[in-house]
Amino acid sequence: MTEKSKDKVYEDSISNWPEEERPRERLLKFGPNALTNAELLAILLRVGVKGKSAVDLARHIIRETKGLRGLDKLEPKDLFNIKGLNLAKIAQIKASIELGKRIFEEPKKLEGIASSSRKAYDMLFPRMRDLKKEVFKVIFLNSHNQVIDIVTAHEGTVTMSNVYVREIINLANKFGAASMIFAHNHPSGEPKPSNEDKEITEELVFAGRIMKIKVLDHIIIGEEKYFSFADEGLIKRYNTNFDKRK
């Protein structure tokens, strides 16, 4: 961009901008990677407010929410406090963020998930890292280690009393699952397992052994890091403990 073009002052409405400067036209011509976060968000907003173009409004929203992750974290009711956002715009923003997360859950992205804790983490952490409460998920796999489904078993603090082992095993039988991977998040950001996390995992391994459903791993998701029971040798230890009880 030349110094002369930097000095251009366009009218508030993007429709009044030169076509080569409009976010939507630039996306179609150069691809989404050519646009800034504010320009991409502006395409979702479509229009701005009095005195602000959609791009200006998008920049304001990103500043107010401290970035895209902050925008994701906020509940719709909190976004209403930002001037220029209404029900329709909030719904569009939240829907687009959710679609982005679901890309990671497409079957082609799940290939090899059973062979690597890192692959399971990479798939789950965009959805789970910023949650304000603990969520316990179960990934059910078939005999070829292909993902059958990902189910939320519990929301709230994970304890032995609320992770219903029998219900999880019943679901595994319903899906015809051959194996399972468990995952839950720690809102504190520290993925180190508690004693209760260890007790729950051992109980699930034991239940799986009885029903001939293999537990491959339990992953605790923190802030940009995770803990894998399999990688740390705990799944193997629990299987050994089960064998000793027989």
H helical segments located in the chain: 3-6, 23-30, 37-45, 54-65, 68-73, 76-79, 87-103, 117-128, 165-175, 195-210, 234-245
Contact in structure between 62 and 49 (CB atoms under 8 Å)? no
Is the pLDDT at 221 greater than 70, yes or no?
yes
Q: What six digits make up the tokens of 239?
A: 């299987």
- Mean pLDDT estimate for the chain: 85
Is the pLDDT at 22 greater than 70, yes or no?
yes
Q: According to the model, what pLDDT value does residue 110 have? A: 57
Is the pLDDT at 196 greater than 70, yes or no?
yes
Higher pLDDT, 49 or 19: 49
Q: What is the pLDDT of residues 87-107, one digit of tens each?
A: 988 999 999 888 887 776 665
Q: According to the model, what pLDDT value does residue 91 have? A: 92
Q: According to the model, what pLDDT value does residue 115 have? A: 81
Residue 1's pLDDT band, with cuts at 50, 70 and 90, is: very low
Q: What secondary structure does DSSP assign to 168-223, as a single string?
A: HHHHHHHHT-SEEEEEEE-TTS--PPPHHHHHHHHHHHHHHHHTT-EEEEEEEE-S
Is the pLDDT at 57 greater than 60, yes or no?
yes
Q: According to the model, what pLDDT value does residue 109 have? A: 52
Among 16-30, 153-167, 193-207, the minimum mean pLDDT is found in 153-167
Q: According to the model, what pLDDT value does residue 7 have? A: 42
With vertex at residue 107, the alpha carbon angle to CA 101 and CA 113, rounded to the nearest 5 degrees, is 90
Q: According to the model, what pLDDT value does residue 210 have? A: 95
d(CA 129, CA 124): 8
Average pLDDT rounded to a whole number, residues 200-204: 94
| Closest to 11 in 3D by CA, of 60, 47, 63 | 47
Domains of the chain are 10-102 (no CATH), 106-245 (3.40.140.10)
